[in-house]
Structure 1
């Protein structure tokens, strides 16, 4: 298991490029210096003006310690783009393994809510029932499941090699999603798609 911090920012689409450049240079260097860092991803919707940054950590302690520095530097990295910023922490119970660093593909994210007592059921359903069906979708290149057991919240991310594959997978993934949420006792409360600016996870 790994641990993740997500930073979700919204703002002026015209200023998004500045934030991307800052995160991929200064932000990446700051993360690399932190003990326990295991990779990062930047995902954007250039039309709407949304940005999701994910950092991966070997332990919850490493993640939390790193945020002492990142909390101070984050506003500067996201300026002048970000009008709103939300930071959340999760366990990464499923994560991409063995793929090369990705750029230019597409990612579909679902936000989930569930009763905290059903967290293990959500994991088991995704790992044994959902993931094998996702893996056969054309262009599939990885998937992740993030859980916050205490709050009963989670995220799924499904990555594709290019935007065409992302678009072509919508109907197929909709069927999987409809059938799996009832088994997992989860609700999907948001569905978004992003361009993959960069994504790289190093499990060990």
Structure 2
């Protein structure tokens, strides 16, 4: 399974229009593409950062979708008032306790490891981090998107509410600290509202 994420730092006044365009136009249009298995939209209204992620059954399907998704992304960028940054990933791990509901929030952490340690880091996330996350109150799901060739990765942890995410902040910080001791370099983190979640990605652990 593979994923493409498009990040735009939007004007705050344009966010609602961008959400409407992605919900009403982009999402229905993508459902007809071969190999498409879902879309999510994360929004941080304080910073204006918006991340749309599409998921695909194979790298070939993701590659074939580029012409169509480029068109929709460019129009979304015009509406939101920002320039998109695009990344393509392997969906290296995903565990879903239950599907998200309105009010869900997501903690996203960007990180990298030495390229030679990428496989070990992915295995560690699957075998150790995911089971620990699944025990947290209000946990909904977690995923790891990875680029094994560069060592970069993104961990997204979804909670049922902002209160649940805040209540687990120390536990999440402790998990990150443990990963740093194990050779992971944390580059950035951000908290988002999960605005759209229409993913059909199967369990990958």
Query: Shorter-chain TM-score category?
Result: over 0.9
Determine the C-alpha separation between the residues in 2 that align with 1:62 and 1:198: 22
> Structure 1 regions of 5+ residues with no counterpart?
none
Assess if the C-alpha contact under 8 Å between 2:95 and 2:130 holds in 1: no
Determine the C-alpha separation between the residues in 2 that align with 1:190 and 1:5: 19
SS at match of 1:128: helix
Determine the C-alpha separation between the residues in 1 that align with 2:38 and 2:136: 25
- Report deviation, 1:31: 1.1
Determine the C-alpha separation between the residues in 1 that align with 2:51 and 2:132: 25
TM-score normalised to structure 2 length: 0.93
Residue correspondence of structure 1 range 102-121 to structure 2 within 5 A: 102-121=101-120
1:199 is the counterpart of 2:197: yes
Determine the C-alpha separation between the residues in 2 that align with 1:57 and 1:171: 33
Aligned to 1:166: 165
Q: CA RMSD in A?
A: 1.4
1:187 is the counterpart of 2:185: yes
TM-score normalised to structure 1 length: 0.94
Deviations 1:39-86 (A, max 9, x none): 110010112111011111100010111111111221112322132210
- Report deviation, 1:120: 0.7
- Report deviation, 1:101: 4.9
SS at match of 2:187: strand
Assess if the C-alpha contact under 8 Å between 2:144 and 2:154 holds in 1: yes
Aligned to 2:144: 145
SS at match of 2:33: coil
SS at match of 1:138: coil
Determine the C-alpha separation between the residues in 2 that align with 1:96 and 1:136: 12
> Structure 2 regions of 5+ residues with no counterpart?
none
Residue correspondence of structure 1 range 6-155 to structure 2 within 5 A: 6-97=5-96, 99-155=98-154
| Moved >4 Å (runs of 4+) | none
Change (3 A) 1:98 1:57: farther
- Report deviation, 1:102: 3.8
